[in-house]
């Protein structure tokens, strides 16, 4: 597996900063400004969809940071047909071949549970590359049940706000999940994480990594200044 797949770190290392980028230019701004990992997708208004392969190649060739890529067929909720799941698995193969370090995915069945069969199939498709489940999990009918399903299916990481509107509001629930899941599943707080609140989110949750859009106001483009501020706050927490 490519050395970029997962940054090596110990519990004494700095808190890892993942930045969501909705275009290649934003991804490279994040990479230059202090991000440790990039989540690449398109269509910020939709919450992220599968990006073009050209974007994946452009970003992975331009940075040594791990770039995980969202695979999402549509923005109409979190339920997908068997045909759409098959298409997402094929998209996963393509983006991994194009240089992605992992796949970001999320789906529920019609009862509000994790679409476990589809997740197992995706984990098998991804092989040694990690599958990360995004905030679809926050719409699950039971968050603890959903987390157990992710572990059982072989997901490696989950992006979550703790089932609330944002990570700060869900800090207590996130702390519970991080303590309960331990090494079985990396829990990454996300949703409204900014330089102005990350100094509260991290100590309250015990998180070792956080996710932020770090976007300019009213824009889906990454703000270099916000990324630098996030990095500075996180480094100050370690000091």
Say if 99 falls within a structural domain.
Answer: yes
- Order the strands of the 186-189 sheet from edge to edge: 186-189, 157-160, 131-133, 102-105, 67-70, 37-40, 16-21, 209-212
Say if 222 falls within a structural domain.
Answer: yes
Say if 11 falls within a structural domain.
Answer: no
Return the pLDDT at 239: 64
User: 131 forms bridges with which residues in the sheet?
Assistant: 103
Backbone angles phi, psi at 183, to 5 degrees: -80, -5
Say if 148 falls within a structural domain.
Answer: yes
Say if 164 falls within a structural domain.
Answer: yes
Say if 4 falls within a structural domain.
Answer: no
What's the CA gap between 63 and 78, in Å, rounded?
31
Which CATH number covers residue 41?
Answer: 3.20.20.380
Return the pLDDT at 1: 37
Alpha-carbon separation of residue 82 from 29, 88, 117, 155, 208 (angstroms): 37, 10, 10, 20, 35
Q: CB under 8 Å, gap of 24 or more: what pairs does 212-218 form?
A: 212/17, 212/18, 212/19, 212/20, 213/19, 213/20, 213/44, 214/19, 214/20, 214/30, 215/26, 215/44
User: 17 forms bridges with which residues in the sheet?
Assistant: 210
Which segments of 161-218 are extended strands (E)? 186-189, 209-212
Return the pLDDT at 217: 81
Say if 203 falls within a structural domain.
Answer: yes
Q: Mind listing the pLDDT tens digit of every residue in the chain (239 residues)?
A: 344 444 434 434 789 999 999 999 999 999 999 999 999 999 999 999 999 999 999 999 999 999 999 999 999 999 999 999 999 999 999 999 999 999 999 999 999 999 999 999 999 999 999 999 999 999 999 999 999 999 999 999 999 999 999 999 999 999 999 999 999 999 999 999 999 999 999 999 999 999 999 998 888 899 999 999 999 999 999 76
DSSP 100: -
- Residue 230 near residue 167 (C-beta atoms within 8 A): no
Beta-carbon contacts of 111 under 8 Å, excluding residues fewer than 6 positions away, are: 141
- Residue 114 near residue 155 (C-beta atoms within 8 A): no
3-state secondary structure of 221: coil
Say if 209 falls within a structural domain.
Answer: yes
Question: Whole domain around residue 200: which residue ranges?
Answer: 16-238
- Residue 99 near residue 57 (C-beta atoms within 8 A): yes
* Number of structural domains in the chain: 1
What's the CA gap between 161 and 190, in Å, rounded?
5
């Amino acid at each position: 597996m490519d050395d970029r797949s997962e940054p090596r770190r110990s519990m004494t290392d700095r808190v890892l900063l993942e930045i969501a980028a909705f275009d290649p230019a934003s991804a490279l701004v994040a990479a230059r400004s202090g991000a440790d990992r990039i989540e690449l997708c398109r269509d910020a208004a939709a919450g992220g969809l599968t990006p073009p392969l050209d974007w994946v190649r452009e970003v992975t060739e331009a940075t040594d940071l791990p770039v995980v890529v969202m695979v999402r067929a549509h923005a109409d909720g979190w339920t997908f047909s068997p045909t759409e799941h098959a298409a997402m698995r094929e998209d996963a193969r393509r983006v991994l071949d194009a240089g992605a370090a992992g796949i970001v995915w999320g789906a529920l069945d019609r009862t509000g549970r994790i679409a476990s069969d589809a997740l197992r199939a995706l984990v098998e498709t991804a092989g040694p590359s990690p599958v990360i489940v995004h905030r679809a999990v926050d719409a699950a009918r039971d968050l603890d049940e959903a987390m157990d399903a992710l572990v059982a299916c072989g997901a490696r990481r989950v992006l979550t706000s703790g089932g609330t509107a944002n990570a700060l509001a869900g800090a207590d629930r996130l702390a519970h999940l991080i303590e309960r899941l331990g090494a079985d599943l990396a829990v990454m707080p996300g949703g409204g994480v900014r330089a102005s609140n990350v100094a509260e989110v991290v100590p309250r949750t015990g998180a070792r990594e956080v996710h932020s859009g770090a976007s300019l106001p009213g824009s889906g483009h990454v703000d270099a200044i916000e990324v630098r501020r996030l990095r500075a706050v996180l480094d100050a927490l370690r000091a």
